[in-house]
Structure 1
Amino acid sequence: MKKMILTLIAALACNFMGTGTAQALPTLLHNVKGYTFEDGELKQFNSILFEDSVILATGSQEELADLHSFSISIDGKGKTLLPGLIDAHGHILGLGLNLMRVNLRGIESEAETVKQVSEYANNNPDTRWVLGRGWNQVLWLNKEFPTKSSLDKVIADRPVWLSRIDGHAGWANSKALQLAGIDKNTPDPEGGKIIRDEQGQATGVLIDAAMSLVENKIPPLNKKERKTALKLAFDHLISLGITSVHDAGVDFETYKLMLELSGKNRIPLRVYAMLSGADPRLETMLKYGKVEHPFLKIQSVKLYTDGALGSRGAALLEPYSDEPDNKGLLLTSSDKLGRYLTLITKYGFQTNIHAIGDAANHMVLEELSKLKKESSSKVLRHRIEHAQVVVPEEIPMFAKLGVIASMQPTHATSDMNMAGDRLGEERLKGAYAWRTFLDNDVVIASGSDFPVEKANPFLGLHAAVTRQDSDNLPKEGWLPSQKLTVAEALKSFTIDAAFAGFWENAIGSLEEGKKADFILIDKDIFKISEDKIDDVQVLETWINGKRIHSTE
């Protein structure tokens, strides 16, 4: 192998010197603490050699010393180098819009949340709607849903619509409810719920499908706004060391814009886009066929089957422990899911299905088990997105069917304060059960579900190995038997996430012939205390052999 590489480099150098044509010399980045995966095993190195966008070799500086005369040499100054991190489940447009709107994440009371919204509205008087995201009543002292009245006191002349942190509930003021035509006589839509007071009046909180009653009245984004949001999101992700992202549900307008941007080389990181199964033009997009550009790949569809645990919309087999008359909401019936699978697999597309509650996961596994061999999970790599609450006895079914578990570690540490209340002790045995999944040979592709959670992947790595929040609580970790090792967690954010997006032959590890996508960080995650992983800072992000982000 070494002789072959030497011959290749020598030929490239001779060509460069003999023709006078300006060609890039190979680059040797040495003096690093490098980590990657090879055949599923962790491998260390201190030098990486790449030419243009392609990796030629990794190894020790001594092994690659003979190649130095033919390369540009860069001293890594002892920094830690990892494969570019892959977020296997995020919402790019949503992240960009979140960066453009009022951010309500982490606020610990309804009153403080309303104050933040009021200040934003006052600073943005020309906005037609006051929009925001991130409130979470679980963090509040009373843990109760907010009401329209608190918003009405500060903003009565403009509609206000604020998405809950998980995106499965929304909070409106009276103006927004009025524009949506919601009153005492408005029925709950299928798959949704209007929260009401004792007199039957809408309180202002809408769950799942009911949210569309308000959202359909919000003026649609124009192309310029979409472009701005995408660019903000791209830049933010790259600064965090994310070199590839799986976009969990793009509508037709975003799909068209992604194709346009890709054609103009305006997408700076690798995007694996899932078509939105909710878009009425789904089959139009499917008929266009698979897309495989250097920075854009499209061959999957995102579907929903239930809501979220925090808003009690996740579909459970038995009632919620803290609401005995509620089993959550199934947004898609088994018959409808079966029809979706038939349509999507007819075009050879992967299906990535949101399922949080055990009833939803059970239904998805049942429907996936009915697929013929050529459209099965083992061929098309179908995924369950989140897989948060699963009957323990059904976890081995993931591996048997070849279903990928697309999970988000920070969901566990965000949900731990309410998951026990919602589920009770017995159901927690199959909740956020990463170790059980791995022990049953299930492939886990990790992500963050940004902007539901922060996009920083080191928060996810920290949560996966400690089962603790950002304050390193609880001390021993929540459900600590489900912890992952650092190597297992990193693998789920790199090569296994690449596999989940049919990109494992090009990215996810730093091996000969793959793309030179990597990051340099300020701490060695395999040497520092695990509770410090969430403090890691990204110093440089390299994509396609080019440094596109640096803090220096």
Structure 2
Amino acid sequence: MEKIFFNGCIRTLDDAGCVAEAVGIENGKIAFIGTNEEAQKIPSEEKTDLQGRLLLPGFVDTHLHMLHYAFVERSVKLFDCKSVEEALEAAHKRLEEHAGKPLTWLYCRGWNEEHFDEPRYPLKEELDALSKEIPIIMVRVCGHVAVCNTPGLERLKKIPQFAEIAKDVDFETGLLKENAVQFYSSVLEAPSQEEVESYIVYSAKKLNECGFTGVQSDDLASLPGKNWKRIMNAYKALDARGELNVRHYEQCLFERAEDAKAFIEEGYRTGQRGDHFTIGPMKLIQDGSLGARTAAMNESYEDSPGNTGIITFTQEELDDLFAFFDRYQMQAAVHCIGDRAMDMVIEAIAKSPYRKDNAKNRHGIVHCQITNPRILKEMKEHDILAYIQPVFVDLDMNTVEPAIGAHRMEGIYAWKSMLDLGIHASGGSDAPVDSFDAMENIYFAVTRKNIYGEPEEGWIPSERLSVDEAVKLFTKDAAYASYTEDENGTIEIGKNADFVILEKDIYKIDPNEIKTTKVDMTILGGRTVYERKCDINKISR
């Protein structure tokens, strides 16, 4: 056998809940699971003493923006800013750094007015004071609201789709909403394929460091220029060269129905795959965000009377799209935060006349935040997946009730209720909206506390998950969402040897310690793609 890991706590997550001491690898697959005594009798090229450490199936983030994460990391990050002035200063500093080689545009991301000393949005005139020569955009943390300067607005007016997004542009304040934010990327120069590949490699490295061996990522519209074919080619090229260090399941986003249909009519289908790159579901965005008060609600926002948010597609358009997806054997995943958006998507899925004939009909709702008992019952009835983000506990717990009112708090962020009903729920981060740190995400799911350990009993404590349930969101349940439950997600003979080794047994420690637990090693197909400097003992023979 090529490799054996022994003397560990190996939680297989199989249906029987088996816990083993040793696991062996041959040709990238799991070839042995058993005891230390059995492992010692098997000849192996390399044996690794886990010294009691916990070994789990590799983690999978089922909704993030992997390419945009890398792009934001190289842009001006505003996530920690406490005021508009701090955000402006961060942008000014980047412009000064490039004074010798002037920039042609400046992209900034991450401000959140709810964390500002004076809660307000930046203004066009403030960005104009930074530069009237180059486009500057400051995108809110949620990605559904932004502010840009005059040069940015002037370029935006010239794109072919401007007539479609004009209603979401305020020329007085520079404020952009929803599709106007998405289409702003069209005014910026598209990176080369080589640059796109560098973004992918960077993100994969950071994901490996957090124990991830797989992602389900929304990337095709995530970079300037929105050149989705170049992005696909970059992934395929890395995959062909054996340089893609995560198993990637692409959530294919197109903002317009005609573009989504054209993609399918070109022959793309859910499940088409290379070694590590696979075409996943069509991705739709049906409403906005809670922070921007654009999530589609059945009742007005508590703090914004008369405002029920926005929808992207009418019911008739959604019905048509789901019938089309089912006819052409496509899975679909739809961004829905508000209850009205979810109602519309559930109705469209239920009405599709072709769903029963679609082999890829595991349709899902991404985020599923403002649910209620009726919505959850209907999701179970129509077998709709839930792509949830435990990290949103930290982001949203203090802002939800003021936005929607106490009377709508029953059944929101209802992850335990989902699992108890038998809804297939899987875990993600929505990075770069928030961190994809797996240990933090599991901590949030288990404790329902923020990163500082508050409140003591957790926010809506009835929705806390067990450690096992939280781990399965990022392993076994994630595999189901990508039709790979026969290949990944559990440690069983014949499956891919994708593992994460942790420094502590998170099943046994104080749940408050989970968030600081370190990943010691990440293994993809039997190959070590990340190793922390620690004293795991490898014995080569």
TM-score, normalised with respect to structure 1: 0.89
Deviation at 1:319, TM superposition (A): 0.6
Code of the aligned partner of 1:211: V
Aligned mates of 1:191, 1:265 — CA distance in 2: 44
Aligned match of 1:439: 420
Aligned match of 1:65: 40
The alignment partner of 2:130 has SS state of coil
The alignment partner of 1:161 has SS state of strand
Deviation at 1:212, TM superposition (A): 4.8
Query: Is contact 2:327-2:358 (8 Å) kept?
Result: no
Deviation at 1:529, TM superposition (A): 1.1
Aligned match of 1:21: none
In structure 1, which of residues 53, 78, 89 is the aligned counterpart of residue 28 of structure 2? 53
Aligned mates of 2:14, 2:120 — CA distance in 1: 49
Query: Is contact 1:42-1:487 (8 Å) kept?
Result: no
With over 3 angstroms needed to count, the CA separation of the structure-2 counterparts of 1:265 and 1:92, relative to structure 1, is same
Q: How many residues align?
A: 518
Query: Is contact 1:35-1:81 (8 Å) kept?
Result: yes
Code of the aligned partner of 1:48: V
For 1:220-239, what aligned pairs fall within 5 Å after superposition? 220-239=190-209
With over 3 angstroms needed to count, the CA separation of the structure-2 counterparts of 1:54 and 1:362, relative to structure 1, is same
Aligned match of 2:229: 252
Q: Deviations over 1:424-463 (max 9, x none)?
A: 1121212111111112111111100111111111111111
Aligned match of 1:207: 177
**1:92 corresponds to 2:66:** yes
Report the aligned-residue RMSD. Answer: 2.2
Aligned match of 1:17: none
Aligned mates of 1:130, 1:386 — CA distance in 2: 29
**1:420 corresponds to 2:396:** no
With over 3 angstroms needed to count, the CA separation of the structure-2 counterparts of 1:162 and 1:498, relative to structure 1, is same
For 1:443-458, what aligned pairs fall within 5 Å after superposition? 443-458=424-439
**1:167 corresponds to 2:167:** no
Q: Deviations over 1:482-511 (max 9, x none)?
A: 111111000111010110011111111111
**1:134 corresponds to 2:117:** no
Q: Deviations over 1:54-83 (max 9, x none)?
A: 10122221243332x355322122222111
Query: Is contact 1:191-1:329 (8 Å) kept?
Result: no
Query: Is contact 1:54-1:516 (8 Å) kept?
Result: yes
Aligned mates of 2:232, 2:84 — CA distance in 1: 36
Larger Rg: 1
Query: Is contact 1:465-1:486 (8 Å) kept?
Result: yes
The alignment partner of 2:114 has SS state of helix
Code of the aligned partner of 1:461: I
Aligned match of 2:388: 407
Query: Is contact 1:100-1:229 (8 Å) kept?
Result: no
Code of the aligned partner of 1:53: G
The alignment partner of 2:73 has SS state of helix
Aligned match of 1:179: 155
Aligned mates of 1:408, 1:240 — CA distance in 2: 16
Aligned mates of 1:338, 1:148 — CA distance in 2: 39
With over 3 angstroms needed to count, the CA separation of the structure-2 counterparts of 1:163 and 1:217, relative to structure 1, is same
Aligned match of 2:50: 76
Deviation at 1:524, TM superposition (A): 1.3
Q: Which moved more, 1:327-336 or 1:217-226?
A: 217-226
**1:527 corresponds to 2:508:** yes
Deviation at 1:337, TM superposition (A): 1.3
Q: Which moved more, 1:239-248 or 1:221-230?
A: 221-230
Q: Deviations over 1:262-286 (max 9, x none)?
A: 2232211100112223366544543
Query: Is contact 2:4-2:44 (8 Å) kept?
Result: no
Query: Is contact 2:6-2:39 (8 Å) kept?
Result: no
With over 3 angstroms needed to count, the CA separation of the structure-2 counterparts of 1:379 and 1:292, relative to structure 1, is closer
Aligned mates of 1:378, 1:406 — CA distance in 2: 20
Q: Which moved more, 1:76-85 or 1:349-358?
A: 76-85
TM-score, normalised with respect to structure 2: 0.91
The percentage of counterpart residues that share the same residue type is: 27
Which runs of 5 or more structure 2 residues have no equivalent in the other structure? 221-227, 534-541
Which runs of 5 or more structure 1 residues have no equivalent in the other structure? 1-24, 196-200
Deviation at 1:158, TM superposition (A): 2.2
Aligned mates of 1:333, 1:252 — CA distance in 2: 28
Deviation at 1:144, TM superposition (A): 2.2
Aligned match of 1:144: 120
Deviation at 1:106, TM superposition (A): 2.5
In structure 1, which of residues 194, 202, 216 is the aligned counterpart of residue 169 of structure 2? 194
Query: Is contact 1:377-1:402 (8 Å) kept?
Result: no
Q: Deviations over 1:73-105 (max 9, x none)?
A: 221222221110010001111011012111111
Aligned match of 2:94: 120
The alignment partner of 2:17 has SS state of strand
For 1:261-276, what aligned pairs fall within 5 Å after superposition? 261-276=238-253
Aligned match of 1:337: 318
Aligned mates of 2:230, 2:163 — CA distance in 1: 29
With over 3 angstroms needed to count, the CA separation of the structure-2 counterparts of 1:404 and 1:144, relative to structure 1, is same
Aligned mates of 1:377, 1:463 — CA distance in 2: 35
Code of the aligned partner of 1:365: I
Q: Which moved more, 1:54-63 or 1:232-241?
A: 54-63
Query: Is contact 1:249-1:301 (8 Å) kept?
Result: no
Aligned mates of 1:372, 1:529 — CA distance in 2: 50
Code of the aligned partner of 2:74: M
Query: Is contact 1:461-1:533 (8 Å) kept?
Result: yes
Deviation at 1:314, TM superposition (A): 0.4
